[in-house]
Structure 1
């Protein structure tokens, strides 16, 4: 096994997260929809649960705005590292890796919304689900492709 497989997993997760954000921002642009407040609200709940003082308003609001996307990057990168550990550094069939990564990250983010009481995925509309599913599919495809490319033997 080539050294650095955990770093390769982190890189794959970061690439996937970038793809997820690009697809999300394209959707916002094309449909003229506002940004979701869910990441910011999740960051606020994490701060509350961990007793992290974000300071007075408006600084606390600004910190929540920054922490929300950082939580998303953390989940995406952690999923890539998780794949690296699961596969012990070996490439994985692309369709399986894409589904595992995209579904895993979607479950982790949606699950955290439910756990923290920020959103209840059971109440989402079909449009809400599509707005969440499509970027996570992009995440899975890009992260899996990146992972497999990084794990190819040097030529």
Structure 2
């Protein structure tokens, strides 16, 4: 599980790098969904984030932390499920990238922050590519932390 959490942290860093490169290359604004998610969750939990100027800063910081928590948590779950086994990189990439993407997109829909059914192709690509980078980096890291003789399947 600890190895999986480490792999999830590496994957989260990769996701952020790819996302920010996309922001730089396409000159698009950063996503507001992490901050909106924190705001919505704080409201549901009846947590006061303070006056608006401070609340905005808290939402921004907590949004980033929430992203890392999802990434590290997904890695930890896969690490626990995989045990000491290694898995093919393509399988790990698809499992981890797909699971984190499904988790985040479903939470956006449930919290009514965004409706993925209305997204354009470019929106899906901006979501898919960083999650695949997450999955690949996390799966490669998890495999690197496993003994070479421990293979799945």
The interval holding the TM-score normalised by the smaller chain is over 0.9
Matched, 1:78 2:73: yes
Structure 2: where are the runs of 5+ without partners? Answer: none
Choose which of 41, 53, 58 in structure 1 pairs with 2:36.
Answer: 41
What are the equivalent positions in structure 2 for 1:1-155 lying under 5 Å apart? 6-152=1-147
Shift of 1:152: 2.1
Distance 1:77 1:118 in 2: 23
Shift of 1:94: 1.3
Distance 1:89 1:120 in 2: 38
TM-score (structure 1 length as normaliser): 0.93
Shift of 1:67: 0.9
Moved more, 125-134 or 82-91: 82-91
Shift of 1:153: 5.3
Shift of 1:47: 0.6
Structure 1: where are the runs of 5+ without partners? Answer: 1-5
Distance 1:8 1:34 in 2: 34
Give the paired residue count. Answer: 149
TM-score (structure 2 length as normaliser): 0.94
